[in-house]
């Protein structure tokens, strides 16, 4: 990763006698989308609430742009924008009034507020609703407004908790596009338990289960967490299933129709080379041989031990 703007060191927290998270360590670079993945109740919200200064941790340190969030919370929060699961909207304010209010809460200089409000309305595609009461917005536009309030003061870090929860497919696509646009200038920490959200949005992920980090890496590394044990094979002169099963290292063969097969193999054997050699020797005319990755659902289940 490039230079980080957030460092979380040995972070732990407990509610009463129950530990919610234990010894969490992570760093967030200056831009990009970073996923905090985990089952419901895994500890994601606790990490985010501590990061944003909503909860004071039991142990460990959080630094935002080098500022200790426990010792200097107000100064640290100037660099953070936060959208909780439910956008913190004021139902009786218009979109413009609400954003002016949020800019004032963020202690922005008065002369900069009008420009900042117009800028985030344009970026989030809500300028045409500037005079509409926030309670009269659809769910998708309420989320857009929630994101607008989180970035109005141009923070270094934008924290989004389940930002597409409850939205329809079209709204989800719009919010994902908006998040990627924001990530060009900010670091975005995205919390979710939805694998498809992580796959299409995030550059890097941390997975938390039962309060502990169980995975750290890129989406590609996540997909390859479980070593492949099957491959897809396509040949023009299709052999029989029994003939394929006799290749050393092949444990099972499944016909997928026509010239395509799925072969289960032993991880210790160099089965790909043997298939190619056998195909040439017997004139199968091999056209495709591809390792089959484990599904993200299977990886998630493995990591969460469920």
Exposed, middle or buried: residue 242 (CB in 10 Å: 0-12, 13-18, 19+)?
exposed
Residue with tokens 């990627």, as numbered in its chain = 180
- Residues 69 and 147 grouped into a single domain: yes
CA pair distance 281, 149, nearest whole angstrom: 66
In percent, the amount of the chain with pLDDT more than 90 equals: 50
Structural domain tally of the chain?
Answer: 2
Alpha helices by DSSP H, listed for 32-191, are 44-51, 73-77, 95-105, 113-123, 139-151, 169-182
- Cα 109 from chain centroid? 33
**Each residue's pLDDT tens digit, 241-296:** 888 888 888 888 888 888 888 888 876 558 888 888 888 999 999 888 887 777 77
Lowest pLDDT segment from 77-91, 151-165, 180-194, 215-229: 215-229
The answer as to whether 303 is a domain residue is: no
- Residues 104 and 149 grouped into a single domain: yes
The answer as to whether 305 is a domain residue is: no
- Residues 179 and 275 grouped into a single domain: no
Res. 2 pLDDT band, cuts 50 70 90: low
What is residue 115's predicted lDDT score, i.e. its pLDDT?
96
The answer as to whether 248 is a domain residue is: yes
Mean pLDDT of the chain, nearest integer: 89
User: Computed over its alpha carbons, how large is the radius of gyration of the chain?
Assistant: 25
Q: Output the domain CATH number for residue 36.
A: 3.40.50.300
CA pair distance 151, 153, nearest whole angstrom: 6
Range 220-245 average pLDDT: 82
What is residue 300's predicted lDDT score, i.e. its pLDDT?
79
What is residue 306's predicted lDDT score, i.e. its pLDDT?
58
Exposed, middle or buried: residue 76 (CB in 10 Å: 0-12, 13-18, 19+)?
buried
Residues of the domain holding 279: 230-298
- For the cut 90, the answer to whether the pLDDT of residue 302 exceeds it is no
- Residues 150 and 235 grouped into a single domain: no
What is residue 250's predicted lDDT score, i.e. its pLDDT?
87
Range 196-208 average pLDDT: 89
CA pair distance 33, 11, nearest whole angstrom: 21
- Residues 136 and 240 grouped into a single domain: no
Alpha helices by DSSP H, listed for 124-251, are 139-151, 169-182, 195-201, 219-223, 241-245
The answer as to whether 306 is a domain residue is: no
3-class secondary-structure state, position 74: helix
CA pair distance 8, 25, nearest whole angstrom: 5
What is residue 241's predicted lDDT score, i.e. its pLDDT?
87
Q: Output the domain CATH number for residue 238.
A: 3.30.70
């Amino acid at each position: 990763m490039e230079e980080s703007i957030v460092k979380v060191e040995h972070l732990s927290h407990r509610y009463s006698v129950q530990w919610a998270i234990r010894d969490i360590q992570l760093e967030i670079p200056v831009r990009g989308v970073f996923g905090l993945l985990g089952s419901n109740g895994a500890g994601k919200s606790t990490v985010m609430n501590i990061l944003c200064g909503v909860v004071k941790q039991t142990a460990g340190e959080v630094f935002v742009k080098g500022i200790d969030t426990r010792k200097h919370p107000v100064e640290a929060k100037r660099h953070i924008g936060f959208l909780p699961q439910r956008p913190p909207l004021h139902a009786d304010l218009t979109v413009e009034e609400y954003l002016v209010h949020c800019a004032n809460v963020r202690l922005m200089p008065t002369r900069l507020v009008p420009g900042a409000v117009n800028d985030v309305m344009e970026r989030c595609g809500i300028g045409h609703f500037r005079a509409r009461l926030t309670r009269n917005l659809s769910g998708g536009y309420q989320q857009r407004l929630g994101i607008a309030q989180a970035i109005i003061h141009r923070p270094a870090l934008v924290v989004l908790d389940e930002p597409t929860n409850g939205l329809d497919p079209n709204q989800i696509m719009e919010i994902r596009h908006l998040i990627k646009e924001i990530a060009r200038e900010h670091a975005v920490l995205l919390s979710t338990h939805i694998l498809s959200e992580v796959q299409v949005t995030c550059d890097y992920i941390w997975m938390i289960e039962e309060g502990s980090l169980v995975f750290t890496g890129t989406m590609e590394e996540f997909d390859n967490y479980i070593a492949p044990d099957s491959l897809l094979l396509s040949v023009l002169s299709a052999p029989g299933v029994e003939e394929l099963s006799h290749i050393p290292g092949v444990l099972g063969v499944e016909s997928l129709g026509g010239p395509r097969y799925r072969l289960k193999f032993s991880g210790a054997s160099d089965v790909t080379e043997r298939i190619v050699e056998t195909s040439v020797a017997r004139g199968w005319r091999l056209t495709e041989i591809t390792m089959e990755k484990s599904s993200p659902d299977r990886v998630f289940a493995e990591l969460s031990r469920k």
